[in-house]
A = this chain, B = another copy of it.
């Protein structure tokens, strides 16, 4: 298929490369030209403007956040202005439910088609074309994109007819991971303070009752306290919990555990943890338990 790809970060670059590899005609765009170059060497065509990536049947966006997506869609010579009638915008970024709804309406008003198809998986899974892809939208439009999804992921799970449902599912997935980090953080703080070997404990959990990779990966990060370099930085996790709570508020769904996670991320930010992996919120329970040097309780003076 003839497809544009916008956004060549860790995830996007790997995904675009797999599309090229599968034989699709891929035109890539990224704001910084150097990231485009690596893809061109692998056989992609270069777009120097957003509009140049919008000439095919499909254009995929894989960007950092709502702002970045809004800009390439609604901006001057953006997707909305340049995509052909019936052409498909596949939004694979983790964005808010509200923006997703706005994208759907705007494309529909322009006679363009729109699918949200966020992904589960880390950069190594993207590189290995092992992502899980969760599209939502019109079933026939999703079917049209199937060859692309097959090139990027190990499995595609359509989850609904309304594109924003896919974004909500993606956000909820990140909420579940953050919840798991908090739970592990508290459990490790508890058994660790009782003298149990933290890494042996994580190995036990991940080998027995919790054989999901997340338990081992995050458990080991927390047990060793190694939160740098970040595979997924704390501010991104904070953003996703915020978007989850925002969607939940619109739907009138109280999520007390999500609120707890939000407070954890705010506290981590207050400690200057912007560069840390989001697993670092799992280190706060041990901090609460008084391990390490702690600040005095009275920490300011009013003169």
Contact = CB atoms under 8 A, between A and B. Distances in A.
A134 to B, nearest CB: 7
Interface in A148-169: 155, 157, 159-160, 162, 164-165, 168-169
Contacts of A162: 194-195
A161 to B, nearest CB: 9
Contacts of A40: none
Contacts of A266: 248-249, 252-254
Interface residues of A, number: 100
Interface string A12-47: 000000000000000000000000000000000000
B160 A195 contact: yes
Contacts of A290: 252, 267, 270-272
A106 interface: no
A260 interface: yes
A298 B160 contact: no
Q: Which 10 A-B pairs have the closest CB atoms?
A: A225-B298, A292-B299, A270-B290, A179-B183, A252-B270, A259-B259, A132-B208, A253-B289, A292-B295, A254-B263
A108 interface: no
A146 interface: no
User: Copy number of this protein in the oligomer?
Assistant: 4
A162 B196 CA distance: 9
Interface string A64-99: 000000000000000000000000000000000100
A292 B298 CA distance: 8
A298 to B, nearest CB: 3
17 contacts: A132-B208, A157-B204, A157-B207, A172-B191, A176-B209, A179-B182, A179-B183, A186-B256, A198-B300, A209-B212, A226-B298, A252-B290, A254-B263, A267-B288, A268-B297, A283-B298, A294-B295
